[in-house]
Amino acid sequence: MSQVIQIFMSGLAEGCIYALVALGFVLIYKATEMVNFAQGDLMMLGAFVGYFLIVGLGANYWIALVGAVVIMAVFSYALDVFVLRRVIGQPQFAVVMLTIGLGFVFRAAASMIWGANPLAFVTPFTDGTTSIGGAPIPDVSLSIVAGTAVLCGLLFALFQYTPVGVAMQAASQNQLAAYYMGIPVKRIFALIWAISGGVAAVAGILLAPLTLIDTSIGFLGLKAFAAAVLGGFGSIPGALAGGIAIGLIEQFSGVYLMDGFKDIAAYVVLLLVLFVRPQGLFGAAARKRV
Amino acid sequence: MREPLLRLSNVETFYGPIRAIRGVSLDVHQGTIVAVLGANGAGKTTILKTISGVMDPLKGAVVFEGREIQGEDPDRIARAGIAHVPEGRETFPYLTVRQNLLMGAYARRDRAAVPGDLEMVYGYIPRLRDLSQRVAGSMSGGEQQMLAIGRALMSRPRLLLLDEPSLGLSPRLVGEVFELIRRLNGETGLTILVVEQNAGTALATCHFGFVLELGRIVMEDTCENLMAKDDIKEFYLGMKDEGVREGRRWKRRKTWR
Ligand SMILES: Nc1ncnc2c1ncn2[C@@H]1O[C@H](COP(=O)(O)OP(=O)(O)OP(=O)(O)O)[C@@H](O)[C@H]1O
Ligand SMILES: [Mg+2]
């Protein structure tokens, strides 16, 4: 029993990271119909910025967390204003190539600044454990789960109860009508990019104590992408559920199934689900996109 | 005569190489209901988009309250006091009615006045209060049209632009929508520019009318006089011949000369 709890918690933690990256995919896709393949690399940059603030500047962990979120949010806002906004209306493959290319640039820049060796920083959760149902659970896992929950709560409140959040939903649902209402659609979209960047920074900093930070951690974005598709690309609850589902499936299949299955489990499940429900778990069969 | 609230002079607007508006000039005076009539593709929607800043004219001027506004961003023009109810209603399908209405007030600076205006809209369109927690996409076409008008009122406009409010509505609902237009104009003095294919209802409601054909104004007069004109009558007869207005298409080619 205690082993099951341990596997469950590590799957849940891993899944929360996927969920946060998937959330970034979905937020941007809903608003601009762009698929940002650099989302995982934004997470990577967020982790490095956190490293820089904590190890380089000696900042307190919580201050560094907030600082990295702000820095990545500003960076992503600028990315939209100066780069991505210009390709809106271009064919989808151009956008895909651009974001894939940005991923390469980010990885190259990170290795130039921080080198190719894996790095680590100490967090309040490193090395601690808490007993749950008799199973010792690493505090790092708990911090990831709690951090994800808090962040989702904040985002929910933002989207549901603040005028700018409702305007983000509005502009995502019907861009033209938002223009007619005098909603500054371009700025709203840049703010959505900023949120995605901030979420990526949180994911990177939460993930850092679990793995070492290096330029390749962004590749977990591929699994997060699978998670977003699983949830029905375009559904925020779907992205969260898809991420957690994939994290859990991976951990359990890693323990109970043959070697090697862990790495493909996410994709096997994705294919099976798409056979049965092509629109994904949470996707509506036919959505109106304007 | 007084300065018009809105004046278009020699406006030309293009879709790429296509000249949709070919030198349109029209005045809208404070406190009036003005109708622009025309068949499909005449350029009615393009005129409204040019006024609200969603499209920029290549030539000509749009003057609102004495200030040239052509080429400005839609949010600035919305703040300047022009609200646009777009063709096909264009509500936010997954937001509630109340959230949709609040989006109409998004560009406003005087946030404190918003709750009062929400009550004003509910007063004019009581059904919206009953439906306030419903998701807009689940409502009927008539309800969505009322919502789109209510949403536009939330910006406290001094000029309301309405793009084919009768589109796809039953005759009874068309009557309701135009009754609302008349009340808003009569009770609050709101200036309204409405474009329509449903010439009968529009002419019965408006004070002044323009007839648009292929991007040009071909006739302008008071609505009373327009109604009496022979070719306008023929236009009506055309409607009657075809019985029910089928969707939004006129089967017969209309000429105005
Ligand atoms: N997005 C577009 N791209 C190219 N041409 C367009 C576009 N929208 C409209 N047009 C053209 O511009 C002209 C005017 O169109 P507009 O939509 O203003 O007409 P309308 O009077 O509103 O017609 P309807 O009654 O069908 O709504 C038409 O010839 C139309 O083909
Ligand atoms: Mg039109």
The dihedral built from the CA positions of residue B245, B21, B104 and A171, taken in this order, carries a sign that is: positive
- Distance in Å, CA B20 to ligand 1 centroid: 7
Residue A249, CA distances (Å) to A15, A59, A112, B35 in order = 9, 36, 36, 63
Per-residue pLDDT tens over the stretch B33-91 = 999 999 888 999 999 999 999 899 999 999 999 999 999 988 889 889 999 999 988 99
Distance A43 CA to ligand 2 centre (A): 45
Question: Which of B:108-147 have CB within 8 Å of A?
Answer: 137
- Residues A257, A204 contacting (CB under 8 angstroms): no
Residue A83 pLDDT > 70: yes
pLDDT at A267 over 50: yes
Residue A278's pLDDT is what? 76
Mean pLDDT in residue range B139-151: 93
Q: Is residue A290 part of a domain?
A: no
Rounded CA separation A166/A179 (Å): 14
Residue type (1 letter), A130: T
Confidence of residue A257 (pLDDT cuts 50, 70, 90): confident
Say whether pLDDT at A81 is over 90: yes
Average pLDDT over residues A158-165: 93
* pLDDT tens digit sequence for B209-253: 999 999 999 999 999 888 888 777 666 545 444 444 444 444 444
pLDDT tens track for A14-26: 999 999 999 999 9
pTM, rounded to two decimals: 0.86
CA gap A26, B188 in Å, rounded: 44
Residue B156's pLDDT is 92
How far apart are the CA of B120 and the centre of ligand 2, in A? 29
Average pLDDT over residues A99-114: 94
How close are the terminal C-alpha atoms of chain B, in Å? 29
Q: CA–CA separation, B216 vs B162, rounded Å?
A: 19
Does residue A259 form part of some domain?
A: no
B110-122: pLDDT as tens digits: 889 999 999 999 9
User: What radius of gyration, in Å, describes the C-alpha atoms of chain B?
Assistant: 18
> With contact defined as beta carbons under 8 Å apart, do A183 and B107 qualify?
yes
Task: State how far the Cα of B69 lies from the Cα of B11, in Å rounded to an integer.
Answer: 12
Say if A190 falls within a structural domain: yes
Pairing mode of beta strands A129-132, B6-15: unpaired
User: Does the beta carbon of B38 lie inside 6 Å of ligand 1?
Assistant: yes
A41 within 8 A of A221, measured Cβ to Cβ: yes
Contact between residue A206 and residue A14 where contact means Cβ atoms under 8 Å apart: no
A163-205 per-position pLDDT tens digit? 999 999 999 999 989 988 889 999 999 999 999 999 999 999 9
Give A10-61 pLDDT, tens digit per residue.
Answer: 999 999 999 999 999 999 998 988 889 999 999 999 999 999 999 999 999 9
Residue numbers of the domain that contains A178? 2-217
Domains and CATH numbers, chain B: 6-92+155-256 (3.40.50.300)
Any ligand 1 atom below 6 A from CB of B49: no
Share of chain A above pLDDT 90, in %: 63
| Mean local confidence (pLDDT), B144-171 | 93
Contact A177 B84 (CB under 8 A): no
AA identity, residue B128: L
Q: At what angle do helices B141-153 and B97-104 cross, to 10 degrees?
A: 40
Q: What is the ipTM of this complex?
A: 0.82
Ligand 1 atom nearest B87 alpha carbon: 27
A240 domain-assigned: no
Residue A47 inside a domain? The answer is: yes
Query: Quick one: chain A helix, strand, coil %, rounded to 5?
Result: 75, 5, 25
Give percent above pLDDT 70 in chain A: 97
Backbone angles phi, psi at B219, to 5 degrees: -160, 140
Helix-strand-coil split of chain B, %, nearest 5: 40, 25, 35
Decide if pLDDT at A284 tops 70. Answer: no
The token pair at A278 is 């092509």
Split at pLDDT 50, 70, 90, the class of B1 is low
Q: Are B90 and A288 an interchain contact pair (Cβ–Cβ within 8 Å)? A: no
Q: Which long-range contacts (CB under 8 A, 24 or more apart) does B165-171 make?
A: B165/B85, B165/B194, B165/B196, B166/B196, B166/B197, B166/B198, B166/B201, B166/B202, B167/B87, B167/B88, B167/B248, B168/B141, B168/B247, B168/B248, B169/B141, B169/B142, B169/B145, B170/B142
Contact (Cβ atoms closer than 8 angstroms) between residue B88 and residue B34: no
Domain contains A263: no
Task: Count structural domains, chain A.
Answer: 1
Q: What is the mean pLDDT of chain B?
A: 88
Q: Which pLDDT value is given to residue B235?
A: 62
Contact B91 A182 (CB under 8 A): no
List A88's β-bridge partners, or say none.
none
The pLDDT score that the predictor gives to residue A283 is 67
Stretch among A44-58, A66-80, A258-272, B11-25 having the lowest mean pLDDT: A258-272
Residue A38 lies in a domain: yes
Spell out which residues of chain A touch residue B106, defining contact as CB-CB under 8 Å. 163, 167, 170, 181-183
Read off the pLDDT band of A153 (50, 70, 90): very high
Cα–Cα distance for residue pair B88/B91, rounded to 1 Å = 9
Q: Are B151 and B77 in contact (CB under 8 A)?
A: no
Q: pLDDT tens digits for B190-211? A: 999 999 988 888 999 999 999 9
Q: Is residue A278 part of a domain?
A: no
Q: How far is CA A119 from the centre of its chain?
A: 21
